[in-house]
Amino acid sequence: MPPLRNRRQRPSLAHEYELRDTGHLHIAGVDEAGRGAWAGPVIAAAVILPLTDFNLARSLDDVRDSKLMTPAQRSATYVRIQVIALSIGLGNASSEEVDKLGVIGATHQAMHRALRALSIPPQHVLIDHLELPNLTIAQTPLTKGDRDVLSIAAASVIAKVARDEIMKELDSVYPGYGFSHHKGYGTVQHRRALKQLGPTLIHRKTFAPVANQIIQASSM
């Protein structure tokens, strides 16, 4: 495995252990993937790590914010997190929900669904940046949580890998757009395909590049 980029950005268990010392053993880290994409769902993940495992930090030493990892590194740590975690929940918000609720509202939906999918009820939730409305569980939103907090970093890896697999599957449903490569984000390849082929059912119609293409097509 190639060396991880930016070794200084190593997330810790400091927040989890502080909560553990107050009697909270089941702490869920929550993060999302796909919020800025032009197409496809927003995927959120919730991960509860075993805080009584004294080797936990060492076992997940190479887990980082998924944006700082290569695809191969994410795939390897994804498998390890699946083995080690006490519980993992995934939540999906469709492109239609993004258009209806706005991207933040859809992200909130995906996060609520990820938490409900956990097999163990969390006692506290650590969330990357966002505060989750209508949550009955105590929560702590943390800026750059995916870089600093191990359970959130683990959730970022799970969400990213899960979403990438969905976009690879959608590539065969909507050939020609390159979804398996850019995963729905705004690359030159995606912009060119959008102009040539038009929007699909999974494109976010309220996002400016897609909306502009719809307007141009309707005026022709």
Is residue 220 one of the residues assigned to a domain?
A: no
Is residue 116 one of the residues assigned to a domain?
A: yes
Summarize pLDDT for 143-162 with one digit per residue, the tens.
Answer: 999 999 999 999 999 999 99
CA distance 43 to 30: 11
Name every residue whose Cβ is closer than 8 Å to that of residue 189 and which is 6 or more positions away in sequence. 178, 181, 182
Pick out the chain residues at pLDDT < 50.
Answer: 1-7
What local confidence, expressed as pLDDT, does residue 220 receive? 64
CB 133 within 8 A of CB 111: no
Structural domain that includes position 33: 14-172
CA distance 144 to 110: 19
For the domain that residue 106 is a member of, what is the CATH number?
A: 3.30.420.10
What local confidence, expressed as pLDDT, does residue 217 receive? 78
CB 204 within 8 A of CB 38: yes
Q: How many domains does the chain have?
A: 1
Is residue 94 one of the residues assigned to a domain?
A: yes
CA distance 29 to 38: 26
What local confidence, expressed as pLDDT, does residue 216 receive? 83
Would you state the structure tokens that stand for residue 149, as one six-digit string?
A: 């907090």
Would you state the structure tokens that stand for residue 38, as one six-digit string?
A: 């032009």
Is residue 150 one of the residues assigned to a domain?
A: yes
- How much is the pTM? 0.94
> E strand or H helix at 47, and its extent?
strand 42-48
Is residue 49 one of the residues assigned to a domain?
A: yes
What local confidence, expressed as pLDDT, does residue 87 receive? 98
Amino acid in position 15: H
Is residue 210 one of the residues assigned to a domain?
A: no
Nearest to 155 by CA among 14, 45, 11: 45
Nearest to 158 by CA among 135, 128, 184: 128
Is residue 127 one of the residues assigned to a domain?
A: yes
Is residue 159 one of the residues assigned to a domain?
A: yes
